[in-house]
Amino acid sequence: MGYAKGETNPIEKILDPVQLQVSLQKNAIDAQNEAESAGDKYNYFNETNFLEFQGINSKYERGTIGLYQQELNEYSRFSDKDLLEAFPGQGSIEQIRKRIQKQKDLVVEYGEMYDQERKNTDKK
């Protein structure tokens, strides 16, 4: 069975990297919601940590991590007023700055893990 020009077959849609990322995020959010409903703090935070890792790892995989680091560095240079305007309803300025720093730290931590994994893969 053929497909018209521009159409993709179902397997291409399923294996599309963007679609896989969206699917992973949706599954993790669903699991997080289930854990929250059940009062299961361990699994809730486990899914939160997975989402953080998956988000940063996908940026390494796609080669966009440098842009993300630039963005975080730019947010770090914002004045308190500008940062509160950029992230309304996200808590106090201290909480927002703490989250930005946490992301910057995770980028470095996951980057080290990513580099090590690539070195190990290259040795095989």
User: How do residues 44-94 score in pLDDT, each as one tens digit?
Assistant: 777 777 777 888 888 888 888 899 999 999 999 999 999 999 988 888 999
Residue pLDDT, tens place only, 8-23: 556 665 566 666 667 7
pTM, two decimal places: 0.62
pLDDT at 29: 77
Give the mean model confidence (pLDDT) for residues 27-46.
78
Distance of alpha carbon 28 from its chain centroid, rounded?
11
